[in-house]
Amino acid sequence: MTNVKQYTDAQLLERVEFIGGMIPNKGKYLIIGVQSQEDQPNFFDDKFYVFDGPDFRMVSTGTTNTGKVGLLHFENYNPKGVAVWKTNQWIPDLYKRGYHKASRSDGGMRALRQQKPILYYRDNNKNLKAEETGEVHQGIIWANMHGVDYNPFSSKIKELINGWSIGCQVWNRMGDYRQMIQATWKRNKTVDYALLKEF
């Protein structure tokens, strides 16, 4: 469930340019994540918009924040706190095709893997809110874009994030996710990404 506002294509693209981004030419994908102002703890309440250059292709739901597992038990991943993306940032060529958790016995999940640094914070106050406070870090932390099921034929839809995001950008509707992955993998090019705060 998401209460993120409805936007026109022009509003989204203008916002990306406003934060310093560039819209690619047709033939290269741009994905825009819009993070909910409401930010319901542990719920998939954000949106992802997919563009082929300036042309809108699809919209779906997911999360741009970590879930309850990362927020409350970050010491299992990083003693300094869980990664929280800085919003209103655009990263050209952020993602390339690959696998999320490829070390699994099933080979992992087809995904978009982080290959360029992002700006992020470390949240360690365990209040169930992913907050943009403290020192800004920059780096590659394998904050991939992936779905919520390792079954490649799944149509699962999840409402709660729990452990599905420890800093990743995660789609909660596997039918939509498959459609996006098939398109981006087929193109076999890097994917630009912009993370916007709801505006």
So what's the pLDDT on residue 183? 96
Q: Does some domain include residue 22?
A: yes
So what's the pLDDT on residue 175? 98
Q: Does some domain include residue 3?
A: no
| Phi and psi based region of residue 16 (left: phi greater than 0; alpha: psi -120 to 50; beta: remaining) | alpha
Q: Does some domain include residue 20?
A: yes
Q: Does some domain include residue 4?
A: no
Residue ranges in the chain whose pLDDT is less than 70: none
Q: How many domains does the chain have?
A: 1
125 vs 71: CA distance, rounded Å: 8
Instruction: Report yes or no: 64 and 145 within 8 Å, Cβ to Cβ.
Output: no
So what's the pLDDT on residue 80? 94
Q: Does some domain include residue 152?
A: yes
Q: Does some domain include residue 81?
A: yes
So what's the pLDDT on residue 60? 98
Q: Three-state DSSP class for 18?
A: helix
Range of the domain at 147: 9-197
Q: Does some domain include residue 25?
A: yes
So what's the pLDDT on residue 94? 98
